[in-house]
Amino acid sequence: MNAKWNKQFIGGQWREGNSERVYADKNPYNDDILAEIRLANEKDIDEAYRSAKSEFM
């Protein structure tokens, strides 16, 4: 598995989310876990928004 597939791209960097929750992305055919992704929290979303907004200004 490519290491960045379980991360979020925020502000030009691949990094894990800061939420305590983890999402297990499963293969629907056999329920094998393909990736476990730490979800974003409000801070991550705000930072992603500010980063995207600054790129378009």
3-45 tens-digit pLDDT:
556 788 898 899 999 999 999 999 999 999 988 899 999 999 9
DSSP 30: T
| Domain extent listing, the chain | 3-55
State both tokens at 6: 């379980």
Q: Which of 13, 17, 5 is nearest to 45 (CA)?
A: 17
C-alpha of 8 from chain center:
3
Question: Does pTM top 0.85 for this prediction?
Answer: no
Cα–Cα distance for residue pair 25/39, rounded to 1 Å: 12
What confidence score (pLDDT) does residue 1 get? 52
Q: Which of 41, 50, 46, 52 is nearest to 16 (CA)?
A: 41
